[in-house]
Amino acid sequence: MSVYTTVTANDLNQLLLQYNIGELLHFSAVVAGVENTNYFVNTSKGQFVLTLYEHYSPTELPFFLELMQHLSNYKVETVTPVKDKRGNVLRQICAKPMAIFERLVGTALTPDEVTQQHCELIGDALARFHLAGLSYQGQRPHERDGDFSEDSTTAIAALLSVEDRQLLQEELSFQQTMPLWDELPSGITHSDLFCDNTIFDNVEGQLVLSGIIDLYFSCNDAFIYDLAVVAGDWCCDQDGSLDSTRWMSLLSAYHKVRQLETIEKQAWVDMLRTCYLRFWILRLKLQLAPREGELVLEKDPNEFKIKLQACLRDQEAINDEIRHLT
């Protein structure tokens, strides 16, 4: 959601002629995330989000756009693309593939705002997301798998401190000793479900999840890894350690909808370590070799290094807690 491509009012006016969503009133760039270019677009008929895809080709995008529609059909809170006058959801603007979405009501969540209730709501929704995805026919491998970590580490290792290189190499070596991922229950995952990829609202005094957004890392992967990604952003204290109340509320709410298997509980710490390692490496790569963009948001790599170190310190206690999940 950084801004890599500049869109003008004239570009938008020409685009909107192909839709039945009204005339342009106002638009503004969305500066958050790191992958696509997004604009808020207000028209005479409503509020929308324009997404320009910076690194996905038109042949890759149907996997994500059709997944959104599939999840919506199963009443999973997410976004669906708006069709143009010919029934298409994928078009081009500024020589980039793009889609338009109705803007969800509410605001994005930040880690400082997360409560136990937020964790319960997203745990329930993620379980329904996973169950609905079981009938989705699309297939896509994980972009940030072990090969990604190995390749990225090779590219940045020389720029790191001795201590950081040692921690990276130790964790990469640990990854080779983990149980085979294909033994874990798996299916369609979000794989990037950070707080800012959700919209919450307050309806008559009741907290509600308006929707899960930014599904562009969705893929076929282990369900428990998806939960680890959520816990790593939604449930950590300032020192990187997991807050027991929040992460147990997350897993308990999920477990009520889709029961976690014993092998998933046993893999919980391994998945946390994998998640922290991958996002640490990803952010290091973006920091040390950033892509060109007009307004590119950079996130702190040390956040996930600190979480990884805390997980290594606390892994015995975390394992004791998850064994009591019922």
What tens digit of pLDDT does each residue of 17-58 get?
Answer: 999 999 999 999 987 656 789 999 999 999 999 999 998 999
Q: Which domains does the chain have, with CATH numbers?
A: 9-66+78-103 (3.30.200.20), 108-322 (3.90.1200.10)
pLDDT band at 1 (very low <50, low <70, confident <90, very high): very low
Other C-beta atoms within 10 Å of 325: how many?
A: 15
Higher pLDDT, 282 or 234: 234
User: What is the rounded distance in angstroms from the CA atom of residue 218 to the CA atom of residue 180?
Assistant: 20
Which pLDDT score, from 0 to 100, does residue 299 have? Answer: 80
Which pLDDT score, from 0 to 100, does residue 142 have? Answer: 79
In our burial notation (b when 16+ CB lie closer than 10 A, e otherwise), range 121-141 reads: bbbbbbbbbbbbbeebeeebe
Q: Please calculate the CA angle 227-75-234 and round it to the nearest 5 degrees.
A: 25
Contacting residues for 116 by C-beta, under 8 A, at least 6 apart: 245, 246, 249
How far from the centroid of its chain's Cα atoms is residue 171's Cα? 22
What is the mean pLDDT of the segment spanning 66-94? 96
